[in-house]
Amino acid sequence: MSEDDEKRRVRYYSVPRRRGRLLPFLGFSLWTVVAVLAAIGFGAWTFLDTTLSKASPNTDAVRAAIKTADPVKPGEPVNVLLIGSDQRPDEEGIPGRSDSLILMRMDARNGFISLLSFPRDLWVNIPGSGQAKLNNAYSVGGPATAIDTIRELTGQPINHYVDIDFEGFRRLVDEVGGVYLDIDRQYFNDNSGRAPGTTFAEIDIEPGFQRLDGDNALDYVRYRHTDSDFARIRRQQLFLSDLKRQTNQAENLLNLRSLGDIFGDSIETSIRSVPQMLDLVRLSLTVDEDRVGRVSVEAFDEFRGDQAVVVAGEGAIARAVDEWLEPDFQGAESAKPAATRVAVLNGSGQIRKADRTSALLREKGWDAADAGNANNFGYANSEVRYVPGQRPAAVRLQRLMGDGTQLSGLSGTAASSIDADLQLVVGADFPGKLSKPPPPPDRRPAPAAVDTAALVPVLRQIQRTTGLQVMAPLKVARGSKVRRVRSYTANVDGKKVPAVKIVFETGTRKYWGMSIVGSENLSVLEGETGKLDRGGRRYFTYYDGRNMQRLAWRKGGVSFWVSNSLDYALSDETMWAIAKSARPLGRATLPEGAVDVGLEIEREGSTP
């Protein structure tokens, strides 16, 4: 087996699946309920009943939300709207604002959980109010209006909501003893010299592996001063991913009285039934770790009048909802054409177009057959429709049919009526020739990495000063410059250990990094999604869906890892090239024939 084959073998979660370890993360508040019940057992009915009574009071806002929510249908997925709000204790009766909205789908029948995040400044229609930013929906009418808005936006039923305010978030993080994170860069703002009305939330968090308390964790997930909504969504998703890995927190959650107070004071939900809550908990404890999908809406910045808003492009909401309904956990490459039945319909009116397209697909190995004419000949674009569980195959077929091809899911009687896995309506745009498929993984472009030994003297000085046995990368991502080299002391479970964080910038505000920590027992490296032994090292991969988030290895009691940028600017191949190039300083020399491109290095640079 080649090295590339071995890499692909670990690409999509090839380690044995682990069950029942406080995972996956379902939004911080619901995850904490899961952790408590896992720690004390499902017999804690009294505790849960009391907690739900506090968290679902008989107020106008809760009654309105319960009334507008859709009923849960037996055997169907449950959709829960997770709301992070900034309601303050001294503003009783005022809804406040929704700082984050995530629509969570819990599909017990197909065994997955899917999270759809929305930009808070997304320009939407708020029922009964008109066009405005999405976060205004909560201000207008509390959770009931937020439910109505998201339901109209997505076309999906919403069965429940869970709302946690800022104070509750702080208290919950502190209650579990803080959360360990690998911070990608420095986040700083102190409002010095700013006039009233022009200030932003203050924050001061250094880059590197560290434990954040409730205040700093909240500052981190809410930060947006020099960032976009999209960067903030990514930070929130990374926060949830890393928290999910930290499965050793259960013993910190046994103060039931304290947790009950936090839930009662800071969390509000429409879930009043103990059996319903236990159904959600059971799914969360039994679903595989690699069966949690995370989707965000693709959008862009614009102005509406004098307001800076975020606008979703044509079809962006539909595409996001489609992926949320059928997450692509394994990638479209996993779909097998020969095992996929395709019913081909003529939607253009051109003679024998369905028959000819079926023949083209059969030549490519698909089980395709002419199924006659579509309901009309007015299809300007081709369309691929798929039954539940067949989205990866549909994505693969969509790529073959060309860029203009639409994608849609079928359910219920519509799915059962086609007697196939996919239904292809051939539109007028199809030129009669299949598009060239994307290259398979072993033919992907070479890594975008260049050779340099510029970091060797910098790290040699740190090694002499700290005694930490470091490694220097002899390759970096093309176009990178070093914006910060931080040598610091990390607190690892009460023990102080030396650590180094190198912050690279490639492009504009795309920060990736390399971390070195003098301990092998780090929570951020728990829950790896794959392993690979290569060149005397054992590498650990950490994927977020289809994207590599982190690539790590350990040596001599020290942990090393390369971390991707928030928007995954580095390809898998580039991250592998950087990690494999790292050498102990005594052997950190470029190979014969390599050209040192140099590297711009700022030891204390700003990372706005």
The position carrying tokens 């770790």 is 289
Answer with the residue of higher pLDDT: 587 or 7: 587
Question: For 242-297, what is each residue's pLDDT tens digit?
Answer: 665 554 444 444 455 565 566 666 677 888 877 777 677 667 655 655 567 778 88
The answer to which of 179-183, 411-415, 510-514 has the lowest mean pLDDT is 411-415
- Residue 409: the pLDDT is 78
Contacts of 125 (CB under 8 A, 6+ apart): 131, 149, 152, 153
362 and 368 in contact (C-beta within 8 Å)? Answer: yes
The answer to which of 353-357, 524-528, 561-565, 603-607 has the lowest mean pLDDT is 603-607
Q: 363 φ, ψ to 5°? A: -60, -25
What integer is the mean pLDDT of 142-151? 94
Q: How far is CA 366 from CA 340, 345, 360, 421, in A?
A: 6, 15, 9, 11
Answer with the residue of higher pLDDT: 559 or 115: 559
- Residue 70: the pLDDT is 95
Task: Identify each DSSP E strand in 374-448 by its residue range.
Answer: 383-386, 406-409, 422-426
The CATH code belonging to domain 25-177+253-324 is 3.30.420.590
Hey, what are 33's tokens? 């309920």
What integer is the mean pLDDT of 121-144? 92
- Residue 185: the pLDDT is 94
Parse the chain into domains and list their residue ranges: 25-177+253-324, 332-442, 449-587
Answer with the residue of higher pLDDT: 437 or 192: 192
Cα Rg, the chain, nearest whole Å: 26
Hey, what are 391's tokens? 């989205």
- Residue 285: the pLDDT is 57
What integer is the mean pLDDT of 452-461? 97
Q: 298 φ, ψ to 5°? A: -75, 130
- pLDDT confidence bin for 17, thresholds 50/70/90: very low
Distance of alpha carbon 240 from alpha carbon 236, whole angstroms: 6
The two beta strands, 367-373 and 341-346, are: parallel
Residue 407, pLDDT above cutoff 80: yes
What integer is the mean pLDDT of 428-438? 84
- pLDDT confidence bin for 382, thresholds 50/70/90: very high
Nearest partner of 570 among 510, 528, 501, 527, judged by Cα:
510
289 and 17 in contact (C-beta within 8 Å)? Answer: yes
- Residue 39: the pLDDT is 45
The answer to which of 83-87, 349-353, 509-513, 524-528 has the lowest mean pLDDT is 83-87
The answer to which of 12-26, 62-76, 185-199 has the lowest mean pLDDT is 12-26
Judged by phi (left if over 0) then psi (alpha if -120 to 50, else beta), residue 279 lies in alpha
Distance of alpha carbon 135 from alpha carbon 277, whole angstroms: 27
pTM (2 decimals)?
0.68
- Residue 465: the pLDDT is 95
How does DSSP classify residue 545? T
Residue 14, pLDDT above cutoff 80: no
Distance of alpha carbon 48 from alpha carbon 383, whole angstroms: 47
- Residue 259: the pLDDT is 58
Answer with the residue of higher pLDDT: 185 or 236: 185
Q: What pairs with residue 383 in β-bridges?
A: 406, 425
Fold entry, domain 449-587: Jelly Rolls (2.60.120)
Angle at 555 between CA 554 and CA 559, to 5 degrees: 40
- Residue 500: the pLDDT is 97
Angle at 27 between CA 59 and CA 54, to 5 degrees: 30
Q: What distance lies between CA 372 and its chain's CA centroid?
A: 41
Q: How far is CA 429 from CA 94, 402, 405, 550, in A?
A: 53, 9, 8, 41
151 and 161 in contact (C-beta within 8 Å)? Answer: no
Distance of alpha carbon 298 from alpha carbon 135, whole angstroms: 17
**pLDDT > 90: what percent of the chain?**
40
Q: How far is CA 177 from CA 320, 323, 418, 554, in A?
A: 35, 35, 53, 26
Q: What pairs with residue 102 in β-bridges?
A: 82, 117
**Angle of helix 229-245 relative to helix 28-40, nearest 10 degrees?**
10
- Residue 447: the pLDDT is 64
**pLDDT > 70: what percent of the chain?**
77
Q: Which CATH number fits domain 332-442: 3.30.70, 3.40.630, 1.10.10, 1.10.8?
A: 3.30.70
Across the chain, mean pLDDT equals 80
The answer to which of 14-28, 306-320, 329-343 has the lowest mean pLDDT is 14-28
Residue 506, pLDDT above cutoff 60: yes
- Residue 494: the pLDDT is 86
- Residue 391: the pLDDT is 78
Distance of alpha carbon 202 from alpha carbon 223, whole angstroms: 9
525 and 508 in contact (C-beta within 8 Å)? Answer: no
Mean pLDDT highest for which of 78-87, 392-401, 517-526? 517-526
Q: 241 φ, ψ to 5°? A: -65, -45
Answer with the residue of higher pLDDT: 546 or 336: 336
- Residue 24: the pLDDT is 30
- pLDDT confidence bin for 348, thresholds 50/70/90: very high
**Angle of helix 229-245 relative to helix 214-222, nearest 10 degrees?**
140
Question: For 565-594, what is each residue's pLDDT tens digit?
Answer: 988 889 989 999 999 999 999 999 999 999
Hey, what are 348's tokens? 């253009």
Hey, what are 525's tokens? 């490296």
Nearest partner of 348 among 450, 428, 439, judged by Cα:
428
DSSP sequence for 271-309:
---HHHHHHHHHHHHHS-TT-EEEEE--EEEEEETTEEE
Contacts of 140 (CB under 8 A, 6+ apart): 95, 126, 128, 129, 132
- pLDDT confidence bin for 2, thresholds 50/70/90: very low
